[in-house]
């Protein structure tokens, strides 16, 4: 659970906070992870789009990494899966997940 008021966050900040919460440690993400989130958000209609995709992928991947004893988790490890999910949805509908830009 976050101590940050999620209603006051930007889209990037909201997604970043979700990722930090799922990872279960730390207070911020690397610049590479932030850049990846910004790129994903540019392809999606809203943060809700990206949060939906991440919620389907990220918790399981973080848990697998913990089971293997990894202490550091990077979004690069889920990058291709998230990119594919975004691209598949756009190809199927012609628009981002929750509407058109």
Is 36 within a domain? yes
Is 89 within a domain? yes
C-beta atoms surrounding 70 within 10 Å: 12
Query: Residues 40-81: pLDDT tens digits?
Result: 999 987 899 899 999 999 999 999 988 998 877 889 999 999
C-beta atoms surrounding 75 within 10 Å: 23
Is 98 within a domain? no
As a whole number of angstroms, the distance between CA 30 and CA 19 comes to: 11
Structure confidence at residue 101 (pLDDT) = 44
Is 26 within a domain? yes
- Could you tell me which of 76, 19, 4, 74 has the C-alpha nearest to residue 50? 19
Q: Total domain count for the chain?
A: 1
Q: How much is the pTM? A: 0.81
Structure confidence at residue 44 (pLDDT) = 86
Tokens linked to 40: 């994903």
- Residue 86's domain comprises 9-93
Across 84-100, average pLDDT: 72
Angle between helices 47-67 and 31-43 (to 10 degrees): 140
Is 101 within a domain? no
């Amino acid at each position: 659970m976050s101590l940050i008021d999620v209603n006051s966050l930007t889209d990037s900040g909201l997604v970043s906070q979700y990722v930090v919460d799922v990872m279960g440690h730390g207070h911020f993400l690397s610049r590479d992870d932030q850049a990846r989130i910004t790129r994903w958000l540019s392809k999606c209609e809203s943060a809700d789009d990206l949060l939906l995709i991440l919620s389907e992928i990220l918790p399981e991947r973080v848990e697998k990494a913990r089971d293997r004893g990894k202490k550091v988790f990077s979004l690069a490890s889920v990058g291709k899966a998230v990119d594919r999910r975004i691209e598949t949805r756009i190809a199927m509908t012609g628009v981002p997940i929750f509407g058109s830009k």
